Amino acid sequence: MARVDALIIQRMQSDVPVIPLLAEHLVAAGGKRLRPLMTVAAARATGGPVEAAVSLAAAVEFIHTATLLHDDVVDGSELRRGKVAAHLIWGAASSVLVGDFLFARAFELMVETDNMRALGVLARAAGVIAEGEVLQLTRAHDITLDRDTYLKIIQAKTAELFAAAAESGALGAGADDAQVTALRDYGMALGVAFQLADDALDYGGASETLGKNAGDDFREAKVTLPLLIAMERTGAAEAAFWARTIDRRDQSEDDFRRARELIVASGALTATLDEAGAWADRAKAALGVLPDTDWRRALASLADFAVSRAA
Amino acid sequence: MARVDALIIQRMQSDVPVIPLLAEHLVAAGGKRLRPLMTVAAARATGGPVEAAVSLAAAVEFIHTATLLHDDVVDGSELRRGKVAAHLIWGAASSVLVGDFLFARAFELMVETDNMRALGVLARAAGVIAEGEVLQLTRAHDITLDRDTYLKIIQAKTAELFAAAAESGALGAGADDAQVTALRDYGMALGVAFQLADDALDYGGASETLGKNAGDDFREAKVTLPLLIAMERTGAAEAAFWARTIDRRDQSEDDFRRARELIVASGALTATLDEAGAWADRAKAALGVLPDTDWRRALASLADFAVSRAA
């Protein structure tokens, strides 16, 4: 991962001054580097060489960073990784263009690996992510959203990149088709588990204390699984509350507390965490075809970690 | 080109409703399809097969369209190809995300050609274009801009895609290195000529009547070559006029007429068109290594056309 980090820093450089400044703002802010870690760990877990995976991992992180830059412009977000969002410092225009730059750099890195199949997987993922973002944009505040469409959105906008990260790592390591498919399935299931845990965390997760970004989804009137389940279970009794706070986005100070109470009392939070746990189990089960190594165990732990953050 | 058009229409489809609507708005509006035409004509001019060039040409047009979508958001432009800009109909968020989608689709098309060198050329071009856009964003209203930096900006933001379009077409056709280099040089020179002619057209070109978009650059206080030369030549006498209208962007109704008069009277317009002509000649000279065919003559005509629009 140190090599991946070095490559990320090296390839975000440009003679145009604002580009490295803006990119470093986001990349240096850290983040968990979960996606590039999956690319490298997937390559290791197949027992193949890791050289291509290092470049592919940096490319995966660039795609992720580009997506974050564009997302924050699209959502008008004010914070990212605990820092002021880049578009509020350098302007939306710079964020859009530096996102494009990082996206292009991602493909340059992939070209260097000379692995067309891995490149195809990540190109396809980039398209699916954009489709997922557009779908979310048009449906995210829709209280008639059904569970299947919600799952489709998070698979596209979040899980697809996890799936492509693991799959491309395996391809870069020259793994056989069964391993490649297994690692793709693993990444997809882990990505869904990760997003569902995030959704639960936004309502405090299973803990009594709220995390620093808790309440963001509710205040942005985003329909996520805890909310969907709570709306189903509280039925007509609370229909007016959800219609006002989510559909009409008319919220007062105390509404998040009440929403959280309804989500906990209706069992929607527990149900979301159970669902996240089931996807994590699915991720671990997919690893069965890989040889039993420390790397396979590391991937399994990553699936547990994705959910345990919220438990 | 009919095959390229069919491929463009086919690959902009998506299950997410707003994507094809927004993409079709821009693609169906036409535009000259100059860049994909160069890709196909370059392949033909080398005498090689044209199959890969058809896919690469569609990819080139997708990169161009994605860039236009993001540009219009960045610049807040109101019109594109004579129609209301997409971001004013579907919102800036959709324009950013559909741009990302088209960018991803471009790379998927390239992957299908299985030509890693062509893919590398277009990936690199996408990065250079984004760098050029950022550079323009930070320097476009700067009246101290020098000619070298201006040339660097238009080479990056405009000419690089023409160069990559022609180069990738040659690579897709299996051309030898001398032909590939020649076609890259041709595209780069043609791209500069094209942009300089555009700059001149924005002040009416050599004709007495103004085109429909004339005055856009001036009203956006964009420093282009006609303006740069006019500022040099009118010196201290008009420094206050340029400082007010461009540096401070404080313009009144009559200022464009006066700017145009100064640009014509100082010979800046003629000098810009001469410069464009010199780049077109350079483009045609680069074609010398290619066999003397109808396709080579078509490419030479394209270079003349790039400039004659403004003459």
Contact B108 A114 (CB under 8 A): no
Mark yes or no for CB contact A130/B97 under 8 Å: yes
The answer to whether A263 touches A227, Cβ cutoff 8 Å, is: yes
Partner-chain contact A96 B94, CB within 8 Å: no
A89 touches chain B (CB under 8 A): no
| pLDDT for residue B30 | 67
Q: Which residues of B fall within a CB distance of 8 Å from A134?
A: 16, 18-19, 94, 97-98, 101
Residue ranges making up the domain that contains B40: 2-308
Interface of A with B in 59-78 (CB under 8 A): 66-67, 70, 73-75
- Contact list in B for residue A70 (CB cut-off 8 A) is 96-97, 100
- Whether residue A87 lies within 8 A of chain B, CB to CB, comes out as no
Could you tell me if B101 lies within 8 Å of chain A, comparing CB atoms? yes
A182 C-beta neighbours (distance < 10 Å), count? 24
Tell me how far apart the alpha carbons of residues A170 and A210 are, in angstroms, rounded to a whole number.
38
Q: Is pLDDT of A72 > 90?
A: no
pLDDT over 80 (residue A27): no
Is the distance from CB of A165 to CB of A102 less than 8 angstroms? no
Q: Are B69 and B86 in contact (CB under 8 A)?
A: yes
Nearest to A156 by CA among A137, A183, A135, A128: A128
B97 and A74: CB-CB below 8 Å? yes
Measured torsion, CA atoms of residues B47, B128, A62, A36, in degrees rounded to the nearest 10: 50
Query: Hey, are the CB atoms on B103 and A126 less than 8 Å from each other?
Result: yes
Using a CB-CB cut-off of 8 Å, the residues of chain A touching B133 are 97, 100
- Residue carrying structure tokens 């790039």: B306
CA distance A41 to chain B (A): 25
pLDDT for the residue numbered A56: 98
CB A112 within 8 A of CB A10: no
Read off the pTM: 0.93
Choice between A299 and B76, residue whose per-residue pLDDT is larger: A299
What is the reported pLDDT for B256?
95
Q: What confidence category does residue A15 fall into, taking pLDDT thresholds of 50, 70 and 90? A: confident
Q: Please give, one letter per residue, the 3-state secondary structure of B96-147.
A: HHHHHHHHHHHHHHHHHHCCHHHHHHHHHHHHHHHHHHHHHHHHCCCCCCCH
Residue owning tokens 């596209």: A156
**Which regions of chain B are under pLDDT 50?**
none
pLDDT digits 0-9 by tens, A179-208: 999 999 999 999 999 999 999 999 987 776
- Based on the structure, what is the number of domains in chain B? 1
User: In whole angstroms, how far apart are CA A104 and each of B12, B105, B120, B154?
Assistant: 20, 13, 10, 19
Residue A94: pLDDT above 80?
Answer: yes
Report in angstroms the alpha-carbon separations of A82 from A30, A86, A254.
10, 12, 24
Say what the pLDDT of residue A294 is. Answer: 95
Burial label for B220, CB within 10 Å (0-12, 13-18, 19+), is: middle
B148 CB near a chain A CB, below 8 Å?
A: no
Which position has the higher pLDDT, A23 or A63? Answer: A63
- Residue in B26, B27, B55 with CA at minimum distance from that of residue B40: B55
pLDDT at A2 over 90: no
Q: CA of A93 to nearest chain B CA: how many angstroms apart?
A: 5
Asked if B108 and A124 come within 8 Å (Cβ–Cβ), the reply is: yes
User: Identity (one letter) of the amino acid at B211?
Assistant: G
Inter-chain CB proximity A131 and B16 less than 8 Å:
yes
Prediction ipTM score: 0.92
Question: How many contacts does A have with B, using Cβ atoms within 8 A?
Answer: 134
CATH number of the domain where residue A304 is located: 1.10.600.10
For residue A35, pLDDT over 90 is answered with yes
Provide the terminal-to-terminal Cα distance of chain B, rounded to the nearest Å. Answer: 27
Contact B111 A100 (CB under 8 A): no
**Rounded Cα gap, residues B150 and B227, in angstroms:** 11
CB contact under 8 A, B111 and A101: no
In the predicted model, what is the mean pLDDT of residues A158-179? 98
The CA-based diameter of chain A, rounded to the nearest angstrom, is 60
Mean residue pLDDT across chain A:
92
Contact criterion met (CB < 8 Å) for A111 and B134 = no
The torsion angles phi and psi of B223, rounded to 5 degrees, stand at -80, 115
Find out whether B103 and A105 touch, Cβ atoms under 8 Å: no
| Distance in Å, alpha carbon of A99 to nearest chain B alpha carbon | 9
